[in-house]
Structure 1
Amino acid sequence: MAGSTAISCLHYRDAPAAIAWLCHTFGFVEHLVVPEKDGSISHAQLSLGDGMIMLGSVRDTDYGRLMRQPDETGGLGTQSIYLVVADVDGVHARAVAAGATIVLPLKDEDYGGRGFTCRDPEGHLWSIGSYDPWA
């Protein structure tokens, strides 16, 4: 079996812009993108190394009603995503240049690795670091 068995799923108000931002800023690659006629995204899969996230546009569906966007919770999240990357400083520089809000600064961690935490343009929380829990 290739890849991860746990895949995070996100909703975005502007999913096409989120896909472009995530690919440019964090280095994701489009694996599958299913657009709707209205320009929204029915389903997308973005890969990064052996990992993947799935995302789509915010929709009024049974599943969609189970989720809230960060702007609906006062900016507080109920989950975050951790990305293992080799060049933390490079990703940090791209995130700052792309307008990410850095909420925890770039630093070396006591348990090993280096990392930072930021919010993407729609407020989702991302932690990026070189610590690999599989290593």
Structure 2
Amino acid sequence: MTNFAKDCKSTVIPCLRYRNALSMIDWLCKAFGFETKAAYPGAGNIVSHAELTFGNGMIMLGSVNNGTPYSQMVQQPDEASGKETQTPYLVVSDCDAIYASAKAAGAVMVIDLETKDYGGKAFTCLDPEGHVWSIGSYDPWEVPPATN
């Protein structure tokens, strides 16, 4: 059964929580090239909701404790021994350039930039609040080369 929005640009949108969401919005734009579509900060710099776009993709984020029931269901990496249960993957055309900007912005590289056996280059890093990000030039929507 398919029940997805027909004219939606991106039907899967990762949602993240940050302790300092306002600062992280700026960091994600500087380090990875996201663009702020919407942000709703309130008293005490609490972000109730923000939308950042990346090409035809998007993430939504908010402050850890923004008063919503959803925010009570999400742990931060440092509350889970530095582990994540899911990680966003960004498809980029110039992996070297994003690697350089992420590194310059202070991302901690946990898997250095490398050429992958399945195609493209990729790296994995931590943002300042410990969320894991994988970034690469491999596009899973492209038809892979035939193998024998």
**Class of the TM-score when normalised by the shorter of the 2 chains:** over 0.9
Residues 2 and 50, structure 1, Cα contact 8 Å, conserved in 2: no
Counterpart-to-counterpart distance in 1, 2:17 and 2:126: 14
Larger strand percent: 1
Structure-1 residue corresponding to 2:104: 97
**Structure 2 residue 94 is matched with structure 1 residue 87:** yes
- Larger Cα-atom Rg: 2
Do 1:3 and 1:52's aligned partners in 2 also have CA atoms closer than 8 Å?
no
1:117 and 2:124 are equivalent in the alignment:
yes
User: What residue in structure 2 maps to residue 7 of structure 1?
Assistant: 13
Q: CA RMSD in A?
A: 1.0
Instruction: After TM superposition, list the pairs within 5 Å mapping 1:1-135 onto structure 2.
Output: 1-59=7-65, 60-135=67-142
SS in 1 for 2:72: helix
* Distance across 2 between alignment mates of 1:115 and 1:3: 24
Q: Alpha-carbon deviation of 1:63?
A: 1.2
Structure 1 stretches of at least 4 aligned residues deviating more than 2 Å after TM superposition: none
**Corresponding residue number in structure 1 for 2:145:** none
Distance between the aligned counterparts of 1:3 and 1:132, measured in 2?
17
Offset from partner CA, 1:53-77 (integer Å, 9 cap, x none): 0000011532112110001011111
Secondary structure of the structure 1 residue equivalent to 2:45 = coil
1:25-63: CA deviation from partner (whole Å, max 9, x where unpaired): 100000011111221111000000000000000115321
Contact 1:28 1:46 in 2 (8 A): yes
TM-score (norm 1): 0.96
CA distance in 1, matches of 2:55, 2:70: 28
Question: How many Å separate the matches in 1 of 2:88 and 2:120?
Answer: 16
Shift of 1:134: 1.1
- CA deviation after TM superposition for structure 1 residue 2, in Å: 4.6
Once the two structures are aligned, what percentage of the paired residues are identical?
Answer: 54
User: Which ranges of structure 2 fall in alignment gaps of 5 or more residues?
Assistant: 1-6, 143-148
Mapped to 1, the partners of 2:24 and 2:9 lie a distance apart of 22
- TM-score, normalised on structure 2? 0.88
